[in-house]
Structures are given as C-alpha cells and as structure tokens.
Structure 1
C-alpha cells in the first residue's frame, strides 16, 4: 500500500467528518476531491463506509439523550412516537437506496460534472429557503407528527444524487414544511443514524467479496478521521445555525461547485 493512499484516506476522512452534518454534501465533496487527487477505492466503498465514523460521532455526543429515549420507550408514548417517526422518515431512502444502488454507485458516483451542478443548484435552493419568511409550526424535533417525519424522509431521497446533500435536503424540506432551523438540523442528526447505518451495512454486504485487508486499512484511517471531525461539528452546528442560518453553507456550496467546474476544465 502506498503512503499517498493513506494520506488521501486521511484527508478525505477529515472532509467527510467536517461536511456530513452540514448541508453541503459530504459525498459530493469527497467524490470531487477524490477525483482531483486521484484517489480510487474498491467499488467506491470507502466513500460510503467511512460514514460509520460520523454515525459514532452522533452516538457519542447524544449518548445520554439516546439512552433516555431508549429507557422511556416502554412507558412513554412520546418516545415511541419519536422513534416511529425516525424509522418512518428512514423508509423512503431505504427502499430507493436498495433499488437504485447499482445505478448510484456506477453512474452517479462517477459524474464529477453532475456533482458540481448539484452543489451549485443546491446552494441556490438553500439561499432561497433561508431567506423565505415561513410560518413556523414545529420547534421540537421530538414532537414532529408522523406525517411530517415521512415527508422529510421523502425529501431525503433527493440526496441519492451526490452533491444534493442528505442534511441539506432534509433541513430544507423540514423548513418548507413549517419547522424552525434548529429543530430541523437536530432531526437531521437523528435521521442520519439509521440512514447511514443502513447504507454502511448494505454497501459492505454488496462488496464483501472484493474488499481486501489493504482496503480495510484505508477505510479505517478514513473512519477515525471522520469520527474526530464529526464530533467537533455535531457539538457546534446547532448553535451556529441558530445564529447564522444556512446562507454560509449555501455560498460555500456554490464556490466549491464553481471551483470544481474550473478544475474539470483545466485538468479534466
């Protein structure tokens, strides 16, 4: 295994952790960056499997809250409704992810120009939504009604296209459906857990026969880097969003998309 492969895995893992929970598309970032630094992973598994680091970051930061929800399940209807809402929101992505897995990995993951386009368009949408005056009817992610959870889950399916952003799609959808910014971001955190865990398990199952020990080492480096940076982001994102909204992320998306197009034009 070459040292530059491990360095590339480290860099991409850091980017994954920094971008997974903000609405800029972590997958779009690491696929685009990987394209320009010449990073190739077996079956494009690295880009999916290192998300486990981000999942563990949420579990670490939200451990006490998750534990309290688990303990409340037998005797508290609100806890059961919240868990049901998260599972309901996860369902659309699970169905489409299984049905379109091959197309997503073989076609969409291999389209840098598409990623640049969706980064820019998603940034514009996020700017528009952030500036809209919307009626807020839901301010507590724990109390979202089931219909709202399912609708947010439908928005999440848009993120099957790399560059759209899972968190961006769910947050923008939640805002349009009447939530406030902080609870929308928090619900996106919780929804990330079954979504990314499901993607991890299914991708590992589909590629179990082609992965080697070297692949496991590269994935491990990316996983650790993603975990460390994701913990930092999860602990600070909600306060940042409450103060600044989503416009900074929208402008970042547009800048990265334009830079990506410039890079494709100059070096291919």
Structure 2
C-alpha cells in the first residue's frame, strides 16, 4: 500500500511547491498524519526527489518560452538581462545552503518551527498587501540587477527558517522591489528551476541509496504525480494573481500554522526533528 503514500505526498508537493504556503509544512503534516512507515531520512529524501517533478513542471509549462529564449539570448538584451538576474538571484541561496543548509535542518526542521514560519510569513504577507505601492516592472525582461539581488536575499529567508516558503519569500521580495504581482510570481517560478533543481539533484546523488528502501516504483509514482499536479497549479496561480492579491493565502498560512501547533500540543504529530 506504499504507493498510496506516494500519490498523496505527490499531490501535496505538486499543489504547495509554488503556492506561497510552504510545501515543507504541508509535507511534514501529511507525512505524520498518514503515519508513513519509512525512516525519517528516507522520507525527507523522498520529499526532495519528488520536488524534482514540480521543477520539471515549470520547464514543461514554459518550454516554448525557454526554447525562444535559448535561441535569442545571444542578441536579445531583455532575455540576457532576465537570465543574468536569475543567476544573480541564485547566488545568495547557493552560498547559504552550502555553508549552513545541513546545520539549519539539524537544528530547526521541526513542525513547531515550521508552524511559526507559516504564521509569521502569513502576517507579513498580509501587511505587505495592505501597503500601497506602485509596481514599475511588468515584464521579466525589464528586471534589473538590484531587484534580482534583493529577491535572492529575500529567498534566503526560506532557507534560514524552514516553513517560510521559498515561493512566498521570493514573490514578496519581488513585489517589495517593484515587480507587479504576476511578474514576481513568474520570476519565482523561473528562479525555482536552478535553485530547487540543483537541491534535488544534489540530494538525490547523496542519498540515492536510501530511496531503494522506499521503493523505486513509489519514488517514480510520487515524482509523476507531483509533476502533473504542479503543472496545473502553476497555471492556476498565474491566472489567480492576474486579478487577486495574496491576502487569502496569508490568512490560510496563519490558520495552517495554528493548526500545526494544536496538533503538536495534542500529540497528534510529533515535534521531533525530521532529519
């Protein structure tokens, strides 16, 4: 019956990876509530690997744009500026992850820490949405380096505080630097390709021997389900942000964080480290 766990976790990953609500928090709760009978290290590696399905969904969703950009990057200054911005925005996360990633996981990867990240991030998101601002960047091709650097630094908040959400931190960082909501969301998607793709690949290389205990078929199922669900989640979010703000997500985050704290306090889920 392990394949059922793979399907459910794949659905959770696919829905939550790019929505600003923390895939980490939802996977922790889902894994504990399902009582997945895998070792915690195996489960953590499984979750990182099926994250690759969500990343592949971004590539599939934007493949026409990616092909066009690859064919014009030598002459199109806008495409050059966009990808330079993506590379620059990746640097802080890569450095921070390499230096402190394992230490942060070992010290902070607990449900209660994730719950507070959801709550604080939700409050911050709501406050940012209340703040009047004038977006000045409406296309990724118009992104400038200072904006990219600030988004990259904002993204590090998700590494420093598990459960804050990489997508939330990068989207909010983009909005604060002058990107409109759809452009900030799209930039978060593109930024996830190298950042999350690299993390997935490294984790797979380091812990691939552990995945056999979960069953390679189960890993494949989780990966495929994550890909399919994430593909539709990306399209839905892009349509949503074209006419709505993130206040609803902010409220959801606070409610989800409080619920996790209640589940921990009542012993329904354990507050032990996940790694």
- TM-score, normalised by the number of residues in structure 2: 0.91
Query: Cα–Cα, structure 1 residues 169 and 68, in superposed 2: closer, same or farther, change >3 Å?
Result: same
The range that moved more, 231-240 or 184-193, is 231-240
Within 2, Cα distance between the matches of 1:209 and 1:95?
Answer: 26
**Residues 99-125 of structure 1 deviation map (CA, whole Å, 9 limit, x = unaligned):** 22322433333x111111111111111
1:21 equivalenced with 2:18 (yes/no): yes
Work out whether residues 54 and 231 of structure 2, in 8 Å CA contact, stay in contact via their aligned partners in 1: yes
1:32 equivalenced with 2:32 (yes/no): no
Where 1:211 maps in the other structure, the secondary structure is: helix
Counterpart residue number, 1:243: 243
**Alpha-carbon offset, residue 77 of structure 1:** 2.2
1:119 equivalenced with 2:100 (yes/no): no
Within 2, Cα distance between the matches of 1:218 and 1:108?
Answer: 28
Uncovered stretches (5+) of structure 1, i.e. residues with no partner? none
Counterpart residue number, 2:273: none
Within 2, Cα distance between the matches of 1:139 and 1:118?
Answer: 29
Uncovered stretches (5+) of structure 2, i.e. residues with no partner? 270-275
Where 1:212 maps in the other structure, the secondary structure is: helix
1:101 equivalenced with 2:101 (yes/no): yes
Within 2, Cα distance between the matches of 1:12 and 1:211?
Answer: 15
Within 2, Cα distance between the matches of 1:240 and 1:122?
Answer: 20
Counterpart residue number, 1:219: 219
Counterpart residue number, 2:80: 80
**Residues 187-240 of structure 1 deviation map (CA, whole Å, 9 limit, x = unaligned):** 111101111111111111222343326443332221111111111111121220
Where 2:163 maps in the other structure, the secondary structure is: coil
Within 2, Cα distance between the matches of 1:7 and 1:34?
Answer: 12
Work out whether residues 6 and 221 of structure 2, in 8 Å CA contact, stay in contact via their aligned partners in 1: yes
Counterpart residue number, 2:272: none
Counterpart residue number, 2:140: 141
Work out whether residues 6 and 222 of structure 2, in 8 Å CA contact, stay in contact via their aligned partners in 1: yes
1:6 equivalenced with 2:17 (yes/no): no
Work out whether residues 42 and 215 of structure 1, in 8 Å CA contact, stay in contact via their aligned partners in 2: no
- TM superposition outliers: structure 1 runs of 4+ over 3 Å: 40-43, 208-211
Counterpart residue number, 2:229: 229
**Pairwise CA RMSD:** 1.6
| 1:55-204 aligned within 5 A | 55-109=55-109, 111-160=110-159, 161-204=161-204
Within 2, Cα distance between the matches of 1:176 and 1:74?
Answer: 30
Work out whether residues 24 and 119 of structure 1, in 8 Å CA contact, stay in contact via their aligned partners in 2: yes
